Amino acid sequence: MTPRAADQSAPAVYSRSTARSPWWTSAVVYQIYPRSFADSNADGIGDLRGILGKLDYLAALGIDVIWLSPIYPSPQDDNGYDISDYQDVDPVFGTLADLDRLIEQTHARGMRIILDLVVNHTSDEHPWFADSRSSTDNPKRDWYWWRPPRDGLAAGSPGAEPTNWASAFSGPAWDLDEATGEYYLHLFSRRQPDLNWENPDVRQAVYSMMRWWLDRGVDGFRMDVINLISKDPRLPDGPVTRDGPLGDPWDAVVCGPRIHEFLQEMHREVFAGRPERLLTVGEMPGVTVEDAVLFTDPARNEVDMVFQFEHVTMGPHKWGTARPRLTDLKASLGRWQAGLAEIGWNSLYLSNHDQPRPVSRFGDDGRYRVQSAKLLASVLHLHRGTPYVYQGDELGMTNSPFASIDDYRDIESLNHYAYEVGVRRQDPDRVLATLRGVSRDNARTPMQWDASENSGFTPGRPWLPVNPNFAEINAEAAMADPTSVWHHYRALIALRHDEPAVALGDFTMLLPDDERVYAYTRRLADVVLLVVANLSAANADVPIADAAGWAESELLLGNYPDSGNGLRLRPWEARIYRRLDPTSGFGRRISRLDDDIDKLQPFAEDRTAATLPPHQRSG
């Protein structure tokens, strides 16, 4: 179904609320993983000119912001998150001129573009690190974290690492540099040495680079693991992990003692005083609701919103395959809605380049693939916050049936397989079964454009195998089918643009203990929205107050071709209703609207100017 026209009887002053809130409250961000999006030169790897050729596709979907995963020069040890030059484009993706053209054409279509900012670490091939490792007295030595071996142990001997920390990508978080006899810290790959943000020269070099990109027309940054940049300078040992003997470094590196100082300094040095309103989102593993309130409080000038991981890490560990209970998922998302209701802002996502496909993880990627993909989008996009769409989710793309370890490219997956099979002697078939469910490569299979060879992604050999279901699931077919997942996403994005209650309304969770039905309301002034969704393959009733009245209300959007029977939901059915609050008189409506506007005072700005592309804005 497509949304009906907005109720013309709604108070005209709704526009005041939208005009006084930041542009990104009613915006939708689309993440592009460039290697896998569109290949223009037949080398099997996506590139900037490929993205340029698909801008009209994104504009037709209604996207407001494009977020590009890293396109900088890189040895590609971690698919671009190991950067060797912050101020250029990797030749595999094109040139700076190609990026300039992409920025220009994105703005010409009324969209913004933000880059991935990866400054917790660099590549070991970055000139900064080459200087740093050249000698112990090089001026850039303390641009990274270097330490001698433990007292009493020779460098290179077992247990000689400065701390017991484990890397997120398996093995110790320290690597020995034979030339100098010291170890350097890498929380991720050994080819991703961590920058030492305690050094003010490091910070100023990063800020200078950021200003250079903004001056070039970039509209902001998604900041990779940005809450890890401040570390406890004592670098204490961590508690031993479940597998031993390595320890968990998180207590010493997550939201460290100077993190707020660093982000506030970044704001002053990079963003303050610029006439356009930019977008900053911090990826923050391990962040709590209380932390996020501080990070996103507009009065503190740190970041606009954060990516938190709570709802996508609900299992006992990364490699667990169990689907989270719906009540646990509701409790997590509801807690974040409540925690940032008065101060701060949520980012909304179920997937990205590091997560498996949501329809395979949370939905039903078989019989009910279309319905469950639409349902998950409906439930997510109607929350309070800024939604992020990962490429292909608007098609209902699924996890890929990788046949063997040779099909994988992700360093995290390859290291996990090597450790589980080679060190822990686990059954290779069982380890592969786990990878098929949660590997990051599930999100990185090429975008499925049409039913031609390689799904139209490339005329060459793709760097990662295309999901074999591309003949059924592809953009060309979806755009031609008005009942497709793509058209449902388009309707959800339009609803966020057109209905202020979606962007700005209060959130109230309903039925928190129901294991099948996800239900909540959004309210702004006298407009109330109800979202109901059945996350199961059986019919489910929605036992809420005034169910009959809601069933007779305006149905804005659903994922079945008809409105059904009352509030009895069919398998994987979702509906979005709207009505005026029957208990609210005109005076109470105006009073409540004034309260809603007051809550948004910290965000006050002219949305009309803010939503224009930068080249059309006045100061």
Boundary residue ending a domain (185, 206, 230): 185
pLDDT > 90? residue 290: yes
The torsion angles phi and psi of 186, rounded to 5 degrees, stand at -145, 105
Domain membership of residue 169 (yes or no) is: yes
- The pLDDT of residue 594 is 53
What is the arithmetic mean of pLDDT over 73-101? Answer: 96
Length of the chain in terms of residues written = 619
Task: Give the whole-angstrom CA distance, residue 71 versus residue 73.
Answer: 7
- The pLDDT of residue 595 is 57
DSSP sequence for 179-240? TTTEEEE-SS-TTSPBB-TTSHHHHHHHHHHHHHHHHTT--EEEETTGGGSS--TT-----B
Question: Quick check: 514 and 326 in contact, CB under 8 A?
Answer: yes
**291-301, pLDDT tens digit by residue?**
999 999 999 99
Least confident of 2-6, 137-141, 402-406: 2-6
Question: Quick check: 395 and 448 in contact, CB under 8 A?
Answer: yes
Query: Which range scores top for mean pLDDT: 416-430, 481-495, 572-586?
Result: 481-495
SS3 state at 605: coil
Task: Give the whole-angstrom CA distance, residue 108 versus residue 91.
Answer: 25
Sheet bearing 182-185, strands edge to edge: 146-147, 182-185, 174-177
608 vs 122, more confident: 122
Domain membership of residue 567 (yes or no) is: yes
Please give the single-letter amino acid code of residue 449. W
Question: Quick check: 592 and 584 in contact, CB under 8 A?
Answer: yes
The torsion angles phi and psi of 390, rounded to 5 degrees, stand at -90, 140
Task: Give the whole-angstrom CA distance, residue 237 versus residue 260.
Answer: 24
- The pLDDT of residue 411 is 75
pLDDT > 60? residue 11: no
What is the arithmetic mean of pLDDT over 401-412? Answer: 82
- The pLDDT of residue 437 is 74
Task: Give the whole-angstrom CA distance, residue 559 versus residue 535.
Answer: 13
- The pLDDT of residue 602 is 40
Closest CA to 467 of 524, 395, 412: 395
The domain that holds 589 is classified in CATH as: 2.60.40.1180
Task: Give the whole-angstrom CA distance, residue 350 versus residue 362.
Answer: 9
Catalytic residue among 194, 224, 393, 499: 224
Closest CA to 196 of 222, 224, 232: 232
Domain membership of residue 488 (yes or no) is: no
Closest CA to 355 of 311, 325, 394: 311
What's the burial of 405, exposed, middle or buried (CB within 10 Å: 0-12/13-18/19+)?
Answer: middle
Domain membership of residue 543 (yes or no) is: yes
**350-388, pLDDT tens digit by residue?**
998 888 899 999 999 999 999 999 999 999 999 999 999
pLDDT > 60? residue 507: yes
Task: Give the whole-angstrom CA distance, residue 510 versus residue 520.
Answer: 5
Alpha-carbon torsion, ordered 409, 476, 363, 393, to 10 deg: 60
Annotation marks residue 420 as catalytic: no
Question: Quick check: 277 and 610 in contact, CB under 8 A?
Answer: yes
For strands 220-223 and 112-117, give the pairing: parallel
What is the arithmetic mean of pLDDT over 182-188? Answer: 98
Catalytic residue among 116, 283, 364, 596: 283
Boundary residue ending a domain (151, 168, 185): 185
**327-337, pLDDT tens digit by residue?**
999 999 999 99
Q: Which pLDDT band, with edges at 50, 70 and 90, does 4 fall under?
A: very low
- The pLDDT of residue 440 is 84
The torsion angles phi and psi of 348, rounded to 5 degrees, stand at -115, 120
- The pLDDT of residue 348 is 98
Domain membership of residue 107 (yes or no) is: no
The domain that holds 177 is classified in CATH as: 3.90.400.10
Task: Give the whole-angstrom CA distance, residue 242 versus residue 238.
Answer: 12
Examine residue 245 and say whether the peptide bond preceding it is cis (omega within 30 degrees of 0).
yes
Boundary residue ending a domain (137, 164, 185): 185
Residue 150 structural domain? 127-185
In Å, how far are 121, 146, 189 from 131, measured between CA atoms?
15, 13, 19
Here the tokens at position 142 are 């303390």
Q: Which residues contact 79 (CB under 8 A, 6 or more apart)?
A: 35, 409, 410, 411, 444
Here the tokens at position 486 are 């793509």
**39-50, pLDDT tens digit by residue?**
999 999 999 999
Q: How far apart are the first and last CA of the chain?
A: 41
What is the arithmetic mean of pLDDT over 285-289? Answer: 96
Domain membership of residue 120 (yes or no) is: no
Q: Mean pLDDT of all residues in the chain?
A: 90
- The pLDDT of residue 592 is 55
Task: Give the whole-angstrom CA distance, residue 180 versus residue 190.
Answer: 17
Least confident of 110-124, 230-244, 575-589: 575-589
- The pLDDT of residue 17 is 36
Is the full-model pTM beyond 0.85? yes
pLDDT > 90? residue 52: yes
The torsion angles phi and psi of 49, rounded to 5 degrees, stand at -70, -30
Annotation marks residue 224 as catalytic: yes
Domain membership of residue 363 (yes or no) is: no
**228-284, pLDDT tens digit by residue?**
999 999 999 999 987 778 999 999 999 999 999 999 999 999 999 987 779 999 999
Domain membership of residue 277 (yes or no) is: no
Number of structural domains the chain divides into: 2
**133-170, pLDDT tens digit by residue?**
999 999 999 999 999 999 999 999 999 999 999 999 88
Task: Give the whole-angstrom CA distance, residue 421 versus residue 400.
Answer: 22
Q: Which residues contact 139 (CB under 8 A, 6 or more apart)?
A: 131
Question: Quick check: 35 and 51 in contact, CB under 8 A?
Answer: no
